[in-house]
Amino acid sequence: MLPLPKKYFLTAASCEGETELTAFDGALLKARVGNTNLLKVSSILPPGCQYCPELIIPEGSLLPIAYGTIICSEPGTRIAAAVAVGVQKNNGFGVIMEYEGHCSQAEAEMMVEKMVKEAFAIRNLELADIKIVATEHVVEKIGCAFAAVPLWY
């Protein structure tokens, strides 16, 4: 059985690159997760998981992470990515929502907030707090917008 993560933070960054992969890699580096191996997870925050915004993940780690990302090669196109974490009042159980699209940062933020509220309503849970982070980028050549919630032990 895998251990439950105990810590998390929110991060978002954008980057240009010569290729789609290097744009993505640059965004990961700016988001403080570029030297890890991402293990994409679905959108549940374990009970009792603590918010640690200054958390440093060791290089080379296998990193459970929920994220939204968009890569675009149409110059002048606005792209955005956002994540939100909603936390339950009693035990800290939470839901993570991700969004990416051809939109503004504000639109992406509104979308993830709406999704967290809906996820809590579906579960009949009381929402105590929402944390949101997003990034917006206007593509020059090849751009990437990336937003994530890394989970750690």
Residue 46 is classified by DSSP as P
Domains of the chain (ranges, CATH numbers): 7-52+62-152 (3.50.20.10)
Q: Which residues are catalytic?
A: 37, 42-43, 98
What is the structure's pLDDT at 16?
98
The pTM of the full predicted model, rounded to 2 decimals, is 0.96
Q: 3-state SS string over the chain?
A: CCCCCCEECCEEEEEECCCHHHHHHHHHHHCCCCCCEEEECCCEECCCCEECCCCCCCCCCEEEEEEEEEEECCCCCEEEEEEEEEEECCCCCEEEEEEEECCCHHHHHHHHHHHHHHHHHHHCCCEEEEEEEEEEEECCCCEEEEEEEEEEC
* Confidence bin at 2 (pLDDT 50/70/90): confident
In whole angstroms, give the CA distance from residue 73 to residue 18.
Answer: 10
What is the structure's pLDDT at 83?
98
How large a percentage of the chain has pLDDT more than 90? 95
Kindly report, residue by residue over 69-125, the tens digit of the pLDDT. Answer: 999 999 999 999 999 999 998 878 999 999 999 999 999 999 999 999 999 999 999
- Give me the chain's average pLDDT, please: 97
